[in-house]
Amino acid sequence: TELDFMQDRLGVTLLDANVYEDWRFIQGLGVAGNVMDLFSIDGSSLLAVVETSSYDTIWRSGDVGSNWTCVHTASGSGDNIFAIGRADTAYVAGAAWGWHRSTDAGSSWARIGSGESYGFRSFGQAGTSVVAGADTLGRIYRSSDGGSSWTLITSYGWSKISSGATNRIVHQAAVWSDKMFVFGGATENNSYLNDLWRYNISSNQWTEVQCGATIRDDHAMVAWDNELFIFGGYNGVGSY
């Protein structure tokens, strides 16, 4: 599924397997701003992180986007906001946020640790308590206490996995079951991409998957309920 946020309008396109259907408007959030990230926690709730000119907010929907409620407001506004969730636990980090955590499927939020976001560009979750993130210098940190403290990982048996995909930056990846999906981004020469790749973790194989989405980078993507949600981004001319 592909999502697009323009002012306070949230649209959805179904993208199931190789089927690409038309857009339909589902619901406005009632606030003008940019959706910086969209993710699911418990398989039934969606959370949207929205950036406005003066502050950032988190919105929650329990009916697949038909209705939204603002559940948290940050003290300021900033770029590079990232979020992730699994089971009932979710994390949001960003320039205006530091680290925030929810342990009740996004209904309430609390700041954790010293508030330093380490300049993370992305982060992942293994279980409900171990979180790893990569900063803008390519370093990876690990937390074993739910984000309260962080340790720089220098070597834990990392190895490079080759794929047939074009080298890219500002793309997105999402994991569902034993598959990882990589979509979009741009080359170092600013050639924008719209190819979708699937990595089978069990067999260590990459496969290109047909996708009807348009070219973009700097977007967001999440796997939820056997579907992929993609929204926003930039295509070299304007934002979605």
- CA-nearest of 71, 68, 30, 69 to 52 is 30
**How far apart (Å, rounded) are the C-alpha atoms in residues 66 and 73?**
21
pLDDT in the model for residue 16 = 40
Most confident by average pLDDT, 10-19, 141-150, 181-190: 181-190
Lowest mean pLDDT among 13-22, 67-76, 192-201: 13-22
Output the average pLDDT for the chain: 74
pLDDT at residue 231 tops 70: yes
CA distances from 17 to 185, 228, 230 (A): 21, 9, 14
Could you tell me which residue, 16 or 193, shows the higher pLDDT? 193
pLDDT in the model for residue 175 = 84
Please, which pLDDT band fits residue 79 given cuts at 50, 70 and 90?
A: low
**How far apart (Å, rounded) are the C-alpha atoms in residues 204 and 43?**
27
pLDDT in the model for residue 127 = 63
The two structure tokens encoding residue 99: 């680290």
pLDDT in the model for residue 157 = 64
